[in-house]
Homo-oligomer: A and B are copies of this chain.
Amino acid sequence: MNKNNRREDIVLTAAKLFRKKGYNAVSMRDLAAEMGIKAASLYNHISSKQEILASIVLSVAKDFVGHIDTVVPQPIASIEKLTSIIHHHIELTAEQTDFLACMNNDWIHLDEENKTLYLSLRKEYEAKFREILRVGMAKNELKNIHIEISVFGILTTLRTLYVWYAKKDVVSLKTLKTDLPRLLLDGLID
Q: CB within 8 Å of B: which residues of A?
A: 21-22, 24-25, 105, 108-109, 145-146, 148-150, 152-153, 156-157, 159-160, 163-164, 170-171, 175-176, 179-180, 182-187
Complex CA distance for A73 and B123, rounded to whole angstroms: 43
Write 17 A-B pairs (CB below 8 A) sorted by A numbering.
A21-B108, A22-B109, A24-B25, A25-B108, A145-B179, A145-B182, A146-B171, A148-B171, A149-B171, A149-B176, A149-B183, A153-B183, A153-B184, A156-B163, A157-B157, A183-B187, A185-B187
Given contacts A24-B22, A25-B109, A105-B105, contact A152 B164 (CB under 8 A): yes
**Minimum CB–CB distance for A105 against chain B, Å:** 7
A146: contacting residue among B109, B157, B175, B185, CB under 8 A: B175
Docked Cα-Cα span, A55 to B165, in Å, equals 29
